[in-house]
A and B are shown apart, each in its own frame.
Chain A
């Protein structure tokens, strides 16, 4: 996880508010992934980017979710408006080459009340 820095580590927000999760990958990784982890559904891939371009967003649950990667060293995942069922741990991960391992950040624990 040394290759990925996520912020904040914890976020508590009220239902209906906008939430922005941030990810700063260390350079040299071409692919970036956003995952959501819950007890019920385990690890779900939400979206992934390759060379800053979104490749597959089929895992994004609803239009309330959006992700951007304006450059190779920064990505955001936004939820607007947030709902209690969005409560989960959100992970950012990166990989350098095709079919190599992914390196995970420490995650952001989101609680929507």
Chain B
């Protein structure tokens, strides 16, 4: 099976712009979670989608949003970018049979100038 894929891998934006990141889960996985990784903060949970519904949400401002499509692909959007949004954004997929394990994509490195 192909792993989790994320596009783009690298992105440079300026303050005030908006960005959309994409994640394709492992085939058959219906749960997709998004995380932000910054130095010293580890992986901060953004949100989780399951069958096109947001099931959980982390403690991030409303500028961060996401959605999931019927084929389980997911996108996350960040509007009005701030310098502090520069981070590695990781997507992870899982299934009911993956034993609680999440499978991560390579991430999208977002730099906000």
A binds B: no
